[in-house]
Amino acid sequence: MKLIKVAAACLNQTPFAWDDNLARIRAALDQARAAEATIVCLPELCLTGYGCEDAFFSPGLQEQAFAALERLLPDTAGLVVSFGLPLYFEQALYNAAALAVDGKLVGFAAKRFLAGDGIHYEPRWFKEWPAGERDDIERGDARFPLGDLAFDVGGVRLGFEICEDAWVANRPGADLALRGVDLILNPSASHFGFGKFGVRQRFVIEGSRAFGVGYLYANLLGNEAGRVIYDGGAMIASGGELLARGRRFGFGDVEVVTAVIDVDANRREQARRGSHRPRHAGDDREVEVPFAWPARRPVAPPAIARTWEDGEHLKEEEFTRAVALGLWDYMRKSRSHGYVVSLSGGADSSACAVLVAAALELAVAEHGLAGVKARLAYAGELADAADTATLVRRLLLTAYQATENSGEVTRTAAREVAQAVNAEFHLLDVDPLFKGYVATVERALGRTLAWPADDVALQNVQARVRSPSIWLFANLRNALLLTTSNRSEAAVGYATMDGDTSGGLAPIGGIDKTYLRAWLRWMEATGPAGLHPVPALAFVNRQQPTAELRPPGEAQTDEGDLMPYDVLEAVEDSAIRDKRLPLEVLQELEPRFPQHGLTTLAAWVERFFRLWCRNQWKRERLAPSFHLDDKNLDPRSWCRFPILSGGYERELAELRAYVAEQG
């Protein structure tokens, strides 16, 4: 019986943070060795960080990565370890996995399929390695095999599927199975998206079953480079059974899971299958490496335990933990002294405040108060924070900025939410600033500005007078100002540029308003496992969302200005995600929303397309947001659209003609 204990590690890396990245890799190897694992799979591009962007082309970065690999080789004594790095060869750059065995570098497997959709731009930097090809790369006086390789390490054969390789129909694992591999290592940098973990788990388990192998999956963890959040979740499977599953959204730097693989059992299963057709001819793509496997029988770790992932509110849990982890990493990696939120008393800003507080509470739950203070030691004002509530207060400042159009309902909601999450709270009267700007312009124009003739201008200047003071708070605290815009309103430009869009990070910019309101209700009543609900959100949830910029007598609401949010999200999905034209959108929505009538639906569809085209410049200027799903509207990482266009004039005319014919 050939039993091998293996490990898959998740790492919270940062581009160009060489010393820190190496320290985390060493910590993972130490943990694996302490658990008596022999094989360790590390994440994709773990030496450099995945998000180096165009800096991948820097010869200096490529050299640093190889030098880092060489420095780590002594740490692999007695182990078999895969490292991810960019590798320059023959005027091309490859996304490679280096294999080190017992302190020596033995070769490189190169990624076969590159991720080039959505937020991925790998073909911009890397070349795909052709199937079936092998070459050799020189480093000083040494030569190392490179390409579509399998490694025979002391009689156990290893192969690689690097991230995207496992997501395609003709995944390399099928060929590796025919070449008789015993283990497939998958070093990945797979970003978080709602529902995505289930897909990963299926291809890991099914890969182990269909290929008759042990399968190791390692992923990145945390907010690595700003926009993308990695959820970790290392997995190990064998023979169609999931043996180990690592935590997701952990706030630690290193997560290692281990399992025992029965190599002989997988080989017997391959032999029993009529579909298995092994190749017997010699293959120069196999690299033989001597290695003495431990004689001691490995001890299997405990069975997989149930977690919050097995509960009924998976999306709510994932959203909370993903954004909280993103905020925690963004703060500490930028060395900021906390966050500032302009708290309006509405859904968006309240969600931002609650998520910051959740980030800090989860960090304390994982690291302890002393551990959090140590990780934020650059922020000296935390030194005497005696409890979590004080810590949150030092790191989260909020302010309600009132004009004559602000109401007691939102004022109370802002105060209650700030108190509930232990944020510092300030009440500012910015009405004199608003009226001062209006009076100055009135004198210049020689006329009075009035509603409704100057409606948009008066709304916008009101929003903009709130920006300088909230920025001042952020600068005084050396903190990050959060933009509170959500995705639904970003799609139609329902935000005042340099007003409520002010800030350096938009944590909810990737989520729609309908879901956000549902999440706030869940947070009010339930909250994530291990934390607590926020009952004060009742003051927010019983309101109709409003910009509160027009005089109170007009009873302004967001949905009155735009359309019902559920319709807005449906139009957005159909038009932007599914790329339908205006008439096609209307025809899809008509049976879904019969209560609104064809004429009203058509007016809303036309409003969406006109606002979408008119406000592309706003999307270009919005603060970076976290990627959460395939509905992302970030023009720099997902959804591109021309800033200037014909505005769908012909297509909207067709829509109006259709409505006229139906009427």
Sketch the domain layout of the chain as residue ranges: 3-277+287-305, 310-557, 563-663
Stretch 80-109: mean pLDDT: 98
Domain 563-663 has CATH 3.10.290: no
HEC-encoded secondary structure of 123-169:
HHHCCCCCCCCEEEEEECCEEEEEECCEEEECCEEEEECCHHHHCCC
Asked if residue 337 has pLDDT above 60, the reply is yes
Asked if residue 261 has pLDDT above 60, the reply is yes
Stretch 421-447: mean pLDDT: 97
pLDDT computed for residue 274 by the predictor: 62
Which pTM was predicted?
0.95
pLDDT computed for residue 273 by the predictor: 75
- Report the DSSP pairing between strands 104-110 and 214-218: unpaired
Cβ contact 492:606 at 8 Å: no
Asked if residue 344 has pLDDT above 80, the reply is yes
Burial 629-644 (b: 16+ CB within 10 A, else e): bebbbbeebbbeeeee
Q: Which residue has the higher pLDDT, 98 or 276?
A: 98
pLDDT computed for residue 279 by the predictor: 59
Stretch 515-522: mean pLDDT: 97
CATH fourth-level superfamily of 310-557: HUPs (3.40.50.620)
pLDDT computed for residue 149 by the predictor: 97
pLDDT digits (tens, 9 = 90+) for 51-63: 999 999 999 999 9
Q: How far is CA 567 from the centre of its chain?
A: 26
Identify the band that residue 282 occupies on the pLDDT scale cut at 50, 70 and 90: low
CA distances, 227 to each of 153, 184, 287, 309 (Å): 39, 30, 39, 23
Give the H or E element holding residue 218.
strand 214-218
pLDDT digits (tens, 9 = 90+) for 29-51: 999 999 999 999 999 999 999 99
Cβ contact 353:417 at 8 Å: yes
Q: Which long-range contacts (CB under 8 A, 24 or more apart) does 98-104 make?
A: 98/69, 99/151, 99/158, 100/69, 100/72, 100/73, 100/76, 101/76, 101/151, 101/153, 101/289, 101/291, 102/76, 102/77, 102/78, 102/291, 103/73, 103/74, 103/76, 103/77, 104/73
pLDDT digits (tens, 9 = 90+) for 190-248: 999 999 999 999 999 999 999 999 999 999 999 999 999 999 999 999 999 999 999 99
d(CA 322, CA 334) in angstroms, rounded, equals 18
- Report the DSSP pairing between strands 142-147 and 104-110: parallel
Report the topology of domain 3-277+287-305: Nitrilase/N-carbamoyl-D-aminoacid amidohydrolase (3.60.110)
Identify the band that residue 637 occupies on the pLDDT scale cut at 50, 70 and 90: confident
- Report the DSSP pairing between strands 3-11 and 254-262: antiparallel
Mean pLDDT, the chain, rounded, equals: 95
Burial class (CB in 10 A: 0-12, 13-18, 19+), 556: middle
pLDDT computed for residue 275 by the predictor: 63
d(CA 114, CA 184) in angstroms, rounded, equals 18
Asked if residue 594 has pLDDT above 70, the reply is yes
Asked if residue 364 has pLDDT above 80, the reply is yes
